[in-house]
Chains A and B, each alone.
Chain A
């Protein structure tokens, strides 16, 4: 299951110099089970804050977030988080990283090793099980993180700009792998990104945050399975243009000048 209900969520931080700073202001949204939602925004828009509240790593200042109708009080293994940084235990081998969550659950050694190896096979790291994270490439580290989270069998997947630091081709590969994976084991997914193309390509729905407010909520209706051809299609470009406008218009308040696209493309109602 796992449906997420965000009700009038506000989060503010107190900073020593700047005083109170509102990271999120009165955000409400309802996310149905097994939907892939991209949270799009520029730096400082509050998207990571939103993800952290859902992960249970941050407490709301006001409002609340419900998971299957129950308020979130802290982190839990029902919500797997893939962090922006290479969050791996450097001192553990790849397979031991994947086993970590299972260790916490108290699963016997043989069983968790088998399960970890299964997930490593799924993400294509079977042959690297006994490597240390430092020996992996950037993309492999992301795969390892994903396997680590998936081994815990969460119902919700929370991803915080996971592919931000990767080169374009690798990023595209990983996106395809993620879609294929979610196709076989569907999960409610919140995917934070500042990459318009990524948001469009992956998600069923895009939430746009700007300065802590939810300024747009758009469905994405491209057919599944999505392939790289989609990235080059005109309708993808148009949707991209539309997202760009709302993102840019909301933050910069200045006319679009770089796209070279005709101004006649219809706006989202």
Chain B
């Protein structure tokens, strides 16, 4: 068995990961030092150094409330507050989009007529470039949290609905027949056979969206967001706070990583019944 060597190998891999990250950080620092040594503008520069990015945290204090003194604690609080707002929108959008996408996908899979009528347009929806929709959503719901939520929900919906229809079509017929011979009626078969059977495929679809989830959120927060990380980024862009922009980018990277790990953990638990290849 590999049982004894596995933790050791994982530890070694982790060492390499950390070493390469540290090297990258050092490279970034040196690069920013040599390219920007004379270019420091109110704590910002064309390529902000890692230290100036850290320092940018305190600068976020003002987002808490008018007149908040600039301290690291306030900055962290503001960062956390805006993260929560953004995370809520992201989560809400993903849940709403997945719920509508799965429901619509199951309805499509239910009736051949409905599928023939609707599948064309639904497939077309998938081809819409999401970023091109930002101005449109802005015009419909600009300035409201709902607009951002709707934008993310739309992105999720367009992926999940296709995954659902395809997965529902790929459910092994013997499972449906098994349920039928055990006396199950059509709705019960949908609920107890089709729905659980498509979960892995829907999760696969969701994984694609989750990977770009925070990027979608930022695009969504261009929709006139009044707060959230995207709002902070837009304002920093407006006022040329490059260190702050880099800070938000780094935070988005961290959150994307964390979200991906959490999603993978959850997905692995939900699909723990799946045979591993």
Do A and B pair up? The answer is yes
Q: Bound complex: CA of A55 vs CA of B182, how far in Å?
A: 11
- B175 near A89 with CB under 8 A, answer yes
Interface string of A78-103 (1 = CB under 8 A from B): 01110111010111100000001101
Contact of A83 among B178, B196, B272 (CB under 8 A): B178
- A183 interfacial contact with B, CB 8 Å: no
Interface residues of A in 95-153 (CB under 8 A from B): 100-101, 103-105, 132-134, 148-149, 152
Interface residues of B in 227-273 (CB under 8 A from A): 272-273
- A81 near B199 with CB under 8 A, answer no
Interface string of A29-62 (1 = CB under 8 A from B): 0000000000000000000000000011100000
- B197 interfacial contact with A, CB 8 Å: yes
The range of chain A's interface size is 20 to 34
- A63 interfacial contact with B, CB 8 Å: no
Do A133 and B175 form a contact, CB below 8 Å, given A55-B181, A75-B180, A75-B181? no
Contact of B272 among A56, A76, A87, A132 (CB under 8 A): A132
Which residues does chain B contribute within 8 Å of A85, judged by CB atoms?
A: 172, 174
Contact of A101 among B182, B273, B275 (CB under 8 A): B182
- B183 interfacial contact with A, CB 8 Å: yes
Residue of B177, B182, B192, B197 with most partner-chain A CB within 10 A:
B182
Q: Bound complex: CA of A83 vs CA of B275, how far in Å?
A: 20
- A77 interfacial contact with B, CB 8 Å: yes
Q: Bound complex: CA of A85 vs CA of B178, how far in Å?
A: 11
Interface residues of A in 153-209 (CB under 8 A from B): none
Q: Bound complex: CA of A134 vs CA of B273, how far in Å?
A: 7
- B175 near A104 with CB under 8 A, answer no
Do A105 and B181 form a contact, CB below 8 Å, given A85-B174, A89-B196, A132-B273? no
The range of chain B's interface size is 20 to 34
Q: Interface of chain A, helix or strand or loop or mixed?
A: loop
Which residues does chain A contribute within 8 Å of B174, judged by CB atoms?
A: 83-85, 87
Closest B residue by C-beta to A84: B174
Which residues does chain B contribute within 8 Å of A148, judged by CB atoms?
A: 182
- B196 near A81 with CB under 8 A, answer no
Closest A residue by C-beta to B179: A100
Q: Bound complex: CA of A101 vs CA of B192, how far in Å?
A: 12
- B196 near A79 with CB under 8 A, answer no
Which residues does chain B contribute within 8 Å of A152, judged by CB atoms?
A: 182-183
Do A90 and B177 form a contact, CB below 8 Å, given A77-B183, A85-B172? no
Q: Bound complex: CA of A89 vs CA of B184, how far in Å?
A: 14
- B193 interfacial contact with A, CB 8 Å: yes
- B112 interfacial contact with A, CB 8 Å: no
Which residues does chain B contribute within 8 Å of A105, judged by CB atoms?
A: 183
Q: Bound complex: CA of A79 vs CA of B182, how far in Å?
A: 8
Which residues does chain A contribute within 8 Å of B178, judged by CB atoms?
A: 81, 83, 87, 89
- B188 interfacial contact with A, CB 8 Å: yes
Q: Bound complex: CA of A75 vs CA of B180, how far in Å?
A: 6
Jot down 15 A-B pairs with beta carbons below 8 A, ordered by A. A56-B180, A56-B181, A77-B182, A79-B181, A81-B177, A83-B178, A84-B174, A87-B178, A89-B175, A91-B196, A92-B273, A104-B179, A104-B188, A132-B272, A134-B274
> Footprint of A on B, CB under 8 Å?
172, 174-175, 177-184, 188, 192-193, 196-197, 199, 272-275
Pick the 4 closest A-B CB pairs, nearest first.
A77-B183, A101-B182, A134-B275, A81-B181
